[in-house]
Chains A and B, each alone.
Chain A
Amino acid sequence: MNTTNERDEILGAFSVEPVHDLATLKSYLKRYPQFAEDLVELSFLISDLTEDDVPLSEHDQNRVESACSRIQRPSSSPTITVLARLKERSVEVASTLGVPRQVVTALRECVVDVSTLTQRVASSVARQLEVSVDEFRIALAGPEQSAPRLYRSDHPPRSSGKVSFEQVLREANVPEQKIVELLQDDP
């Protein structure tokens, strides 16, 4: 073993000792006098360092942010992806389903009880969003994403809580024939 490796190994071993008192240091000095200077300095450093929960200064925070830029960021979760795509592609989705955009908005805001969506509608929308049907259903099953909006409606504001897809269609004044079509699953 070369001297550098041995030095690193001895200092590494000393650094993880459970107690860093004078007795521990002296026992290392006795066994490894060739690394005395480093062992004494390391012992001094360990005894001088504290790990308190102190608030970080602005400089410290900047150093943490800079360090964080080194690592790979997590990709967006499937739920975020589904809801974001529903927003981006709301016109196309509404057009495919043949419903007003407010129905798509209700889907995006997770207002619709996902169990009332037919497999045909779920598959159609999922395909358009380029996600799996499961991802689509999981995303819509999440908590309501209410957003304050100013628009006129023929219906009074709904109390919080999920509603059926049928109710959303009726509140959007979707023609009866279209409602039947959308609520009917393939045999």
Chain B
Amino acid sequence: MSAPTLQKMKGGAVYTRFPDIEVKLDELYQLTDQQLVARCELPKSDPNGVPTQCVVHFLRQHRDNPQVFTPLYRILATRARQVRPNKLLPKHEQPAHETAFDAFTMLLAEEQKGYQERLDYFEVNFKGAYANLILDAQRHHEALTAKQSTPGASDDHSDDQEPDDESTGDPYDDPVFKDREVASVWGVALERMTLRQQKIVKMCKQGFLIESNDPDEATISKLLGITPKTARKDRDTARAILKRLIEEGVNA
């Protein structure tokens, strides 16, 4: 039987691993140390491959046993490098991925000295927890950049005086945002957008509407605290940047 994850949720309940992970852990607990390491070394896609959540779990269980801890640490560092964005990253987001990798491997190394609470999340959902590290790193880099940038360079000037373009199309269905080719120009496109345009284009890709008749619906304009007109204008500018790059290439 595997050890419980100790992290407590808001409200006091304890996080639990997904059932398939619990089953896999029970199976892996039957192995010798050598067999365990050999199994973890298999690719994740192998029928006998071990989910990354389980590798994290066993690394923590063997924090006092370097014969197991060391190879599992290497496997996890390798798997962390295999976590990649689907799209090419804009330059300003690349350092966040490197920082997240350092933060993750640091957490693993610290676990050798003692329990690291944050690793609990990685035992439950590795990709989600790793994305959260990237977000932290992104926010950290943004804060540093904001300190260094000149005041007034932000995109937060209101466009509310501009006439509405009367665009009522749902951005969720916009082919430009759905186009597979977006991946190849994504990084360059984001570099050419303002911060708010970047946020809007990301929300459009996730399926958010600019506005809604439902007062309880989370919409782009509500979440960003701007009018629907401003949101549409930013969205259209972002769409134009993406479209131009797809049609003319990143050197356009």
Contact of A15 among B109, B131, B218 (CB under 8 A): B131
| Bound-state Cα–Cα, A41 to B198, Å | 10
| Bound-state Cα–Cα, A26 to B52, Å | 28
Please report the number of residue pairs spanning A and B whose Cβ atoms sit closer than 8 angstroms: 148
| B129: Cβ under 8 A from any A Cβ | yes
Contacts of B98 in A (CB 8 A): 63
| B70: Cβ under 8 A from any A Cβ | yes
Contacts of A56 in B (CB 8 A): 78, 81-82
Contact of A41 among B101, B106, B202 (CB under 8 A): B202
* In the complex with contacts A16-B15, A51-B126, A30-B81 CB distance below 8 A: no
Q: Is the CB of A74 within 8 A of B86?
A: no
Within 8 A of B (CB), among A20-68: 20, 22, 25-26, 29-30, 33, 36-38, 40-54, 56, 60, 63-64, 67-68
Q: Is the CB of B128 within 8 A of A16?
A: yes
Q: Is the CB of A71 within 8 A of B87?
A: no
| A73: Cβ under 8 A from any B Cβ | yes
| Bound-state Cα–Cα, A95 to B218, Å | 85
| A156: Cβ under 8 A from any B Cβ | no
Q: Which of A6-14, A106-114, A145-153, A178-186 contacts B (4 or more CB under 8 A)?
A: A6-14
Within 8 A of A (CB), among B88-107: 98, 101-102, 105-106
Of all chain A residues, the one with the shortest Cβ separation from B128 is A15
Contacts of A70 in B (CB 8 A): 105-106, 109
| B180: Cβ under 8 A from any A Cβ | no
Contacts of B74 in A (CB 8 A): 64, 68
Q: Is the CB of A51 within 8 A of B132?
A: no
Q: Which of B158-166, B203-211, B229-237, B239-247 contacts A (4 or more CB under 8 A)?
A: B203-211
Instruction: Give chain A nearest CB distance to B46 CB in angstroms.
Output: 8
Q: Give the number of residues in A that approach B within 8 Å (Cβ atoms).
A: 48
Q: Is the CB of B206 within 8 A of A44?
A: yes
Of all chain B residues, the one with the shortest Cβ separation from A18 is B18
| Bound-state Cα–Cα, A15 to B130, Å | 8
Q: Is the CB of A45 within 8 A of B86?
A: no
| A17: Cβ under 8 A from any B Cβ | yes
| B188: Cβ under 8 A from any A Cβ | no
Contacts of B70 in A (CB 8 A): 68, 71-74
Q: Is the CB of B206 within 8 A of A12?
A: no
Contacts of A36 in B (CB 8 A): 218, 223
Q: Is the CB of A29 within 8 A of B199?
A: no
Of all chain A residues, the one with the shortest Cβ separation from B10 is A9
| A75: Cβ under 8 A from any B Cβ | yes
Q: Is the CB of B77 within 8 A of A68?
A: yes
Q: Is the CB of A53 within 8 A of B127?
A: no
Contact of B81 among A13, A45, A50, A64 (CB under 8 A): A64
Q: Is the CB of A37 within 8 A of B84?
A: no
Contact of A49 among B81, B86, B216, B218 (CB under 8 A): B86
Q: Which of A30, A52, A67, A68 has the most CB of B within 10 A?
A: A67
| Bound-state Cα–Cα, A23 to B55, Å | 30
* In the complex with contacts A64-B78, A71-B70, A42-B218 CB distance below 8 A: no
* In the complex with contacts A13-B9, A38-B135, A70-B106, A49-B78 CB distance below 8 A: no
| Beyond A29-B218, A73-B66, 19 extra complex contacts between A and B, CB < 8 Å | A9-B9, A13-B10, A16-B15, A36-B223, A38-B135, A40-B206, A40-B208, A41-B138, A42-B131, A44-B205, A46-B131, A49-B134, A51-B44, A51-B79, A53-B44, A53-B45, A63-B81, A68-B70, A71-B112
Q: Can you show 29 pairs from A to B with CB atoms below 8 A apart?
A: A11-B132, A16-B15, A16-B124, A16-B125, A17-B128, A22-B206, A30-B218, A33-B218, A37-B224, A42-B132, A44-B203, A44-B205, A44-B206, A45-B85, A45-B135, A46-B127, A48-B85, A49-B83, A50-B86, A52-B45, A60-B81, A63-B77, A63-B101, A64-B78, A67-B77, A67-B105, A68-B74, A71-B108, A71-B109
Enumerate the 10 nearest inter-chain pairs by beta-carbon distance, A residue then B residue, closest first: A74-B66, A15-B128, A67-B105, A45-B131, A53-B43, A16-B124, A15-B132, A16-B125, A60-B81, A29-B218
